[in-house]
């Protein structure tokens, strides 16, 4: 018997190993805008949160952050998107969860168009009932009456789309503090992926409503859900 009815998966650092392409395109922002490149630890923090928020964090004003986002999008669609690969074991996990009747959704703060394209490119679309990404900063997009700017917005959108009964058991699977904070905010359980880009410490710190479960390898996810 399955322990959860709905499972939400983050994309970067959870379903796919994507750091190389993301960081290459982040560096292009600083190069094209002729700004000093932050150190490696700071650059690595760009994996996970929305690009606009990351640029604001390192000192970009609103206009420059918007410009940086457009530079990132331009380069990511040319090269970065193709440097994604599915983690070993993840296809088996998704096959087994789907066969067990678990409703699956993607909840990523990557832009919706990029999220859709990556899931299709990696041949993952057959597993998911809904794929959720972030929308534009203004929310002026045809697919959304309510803008989705952060992990909590995206998670609520995906949960609302999947949930049929209020008592359905939900778990979030992700690798960073944004996934932990999102899970705590919507009140669901959490599986932290230690094979991704975050840390155990930050996941424990930001998941404030209980004790998270931890997966050292994608195959560990199954034991928490089935």
Q: State the pLDDT confidence band at 28, using cuts at 50, 70 and 90.
A: very high
Cβ atoms within 10 Å, residue 119:
23
In the chain, which residues fall in CATH 3.40.50.1000? Answer: 6-17+84-225
For residue 141, pLDDT beyond 60: no
pTM of the predicted model, to two decimals? 0.86
In the chain, which residues fall in CATH 1.10.150.240? Answer: 19-82
Mean pLDDT calculated for residue range 218-225 = 98
For residue 180, pLDDT beyond 50: yes
CATH superfamily assigned to domain 6-17+84-225? HAD superfamily/HAD-like (3.40.50.1000)
For residue 112, pLDDT beyond 70: yes
For residue 39, pLDDT beyond 60: yes
Q: State the pLDDT confidence band at 145, using cuts at 50, 70 and 90.
A: low
For residue 89, pLDDT beyond 70: yes
Alpha-carbon distance 100 to 19, whole Å? 31
Q: Which residues pair with 86 in a beta bridge?
A: 16
At 74 the pLDDT is 94
State the Cα torsion 112-117-122-128 to the nearest 10°.
50
Q: Which residues pair with 7 in a beta bridge?
A: 104, 171
Q: State the pLDDT confidence band at 8, using cuts at 50, 70 and 90.
A: very high
Alpha-carbon distance 100 to 143, whole Å? 30
- Quick one: what percent of the chain has pLDDT higher than 90? 82
For residue 146, pLDDT beyond 80: no
CATH 1.10.150.240 at 19-82, yes or no? yes
The overall average pLDDT reported for the chain is 92
Closest CA to 105 of 159, 183, 179, 184: 159
Mean pLDDT calculated for residue range 51-66 = 94
């Amino acid at each position: 018997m399955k322990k959860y009815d709905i499972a939400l998966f983050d994309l970067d650092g959870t379903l796919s190993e994507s750091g190389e392409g993301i960081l290459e395109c982040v560096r292009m922002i600083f190069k094209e805008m002729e700004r000093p490149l932050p150190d490696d630890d700071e650059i690595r923090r760009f994996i996970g949160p929305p690009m606009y928020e990351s640029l604001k964090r390192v000192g970009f004003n609103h206009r420059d952050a918007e410009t940086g986002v457009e530079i990132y999008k331009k380069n990511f669609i040319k090269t970065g998107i193709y440097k994604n690969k599915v983690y070993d074991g993840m296809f088996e996990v998704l096959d087994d969860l789907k066969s067990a009747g678990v409703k699956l959704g993607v909840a990523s703060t990557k832009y919706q168009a990029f999220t859709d394209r990556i899931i299709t490119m990696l041949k993952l679309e057959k597993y998911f009932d809904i794929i959720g990404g972030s929308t534009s900063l203004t929310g002026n997009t045809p697919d959304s009456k309510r803008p989705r700017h952060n992990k909590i917005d995206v998670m609520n959108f995906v949960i609302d789309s999947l949930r049929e009964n209020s008592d359905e058991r939900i778990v979030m699977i992700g690798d960073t503090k944004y996934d932990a904070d999102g899970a705590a905010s919507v009140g669901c359980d959490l599986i932290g992926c230690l094979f991704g880009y975050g840390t155990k410490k930050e996941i424990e710190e930001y998941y404030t409503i209980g004790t998270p479960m931890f997966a050292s390898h994608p195959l560990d996810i199954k034991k928490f859900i089935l």
